[in-house]
Amino acid sequence: MKILIKNGRVVDPANKIDANMDILIEEGAISEVSKNIKAPGAEIIEAKGMIAAPGLIDMHCHLREPGREDEETLLTASRAAVKGGFTSVCAMPNTTPACDNQSVVGFIMSEGKRIGLCNIYVVGT
C-alpha cells in the first residue's frame, strides 16, 4: 500500500529540512520526501497547513500509575502523548508506590510495551 502525504510542512532538523514537501510511504516506511511526488494508485492525504516532523519526546511526565489510576493510567497517558505527536515519554518516579525498585520499574516498562502506543521510559529515584 502506498500513502502520499501532499503539501505539508516537513520539519526534519537531522536533514536540515523545513519546507513544504510531499512524503511517500510505501509498505509502512517513508520512501521519499520531495516536492511534487507522483505516485499512481497511492492513497492521498492533503496536509496543507499541517506539519510533519519526527516524533517528539516528553522528558518529564507524571503518569500516576501505579497508585493513582483515578487520575491517569499508562494507557490514557499514552493516548494523550500520541495525539500530541509524542512517540516517547519519560515517567517521573513520584508514583505511589514510588518508582524506586525493580518491581515498580518492571511493571511500568512491561505495561508500556503491552500498550504499545508509544515508548515509555522510566526515570527512577
Cα(35)–Cα(98) distance, rounded to whole angstroms?
Answer: 50
Average pLDDT of the residues of the chain: 94
- The whole-number average pLDDT for the span 95-119 is 93
pLDDT at residue 21, as a whole number: 97
Beta bridge partners of 45: 5
Does residue 124 have a pLDDT over 80? no
> Tell me: the pLDDT tens digits for 47-91?
999 999 999 999 999 999 999 999 999 999 999 999 999 999 999
Cα(41)–Cα(76) distance, rounded to whole angstroms?
Answer: 36
CB 41 within 8 A of CB 79: no
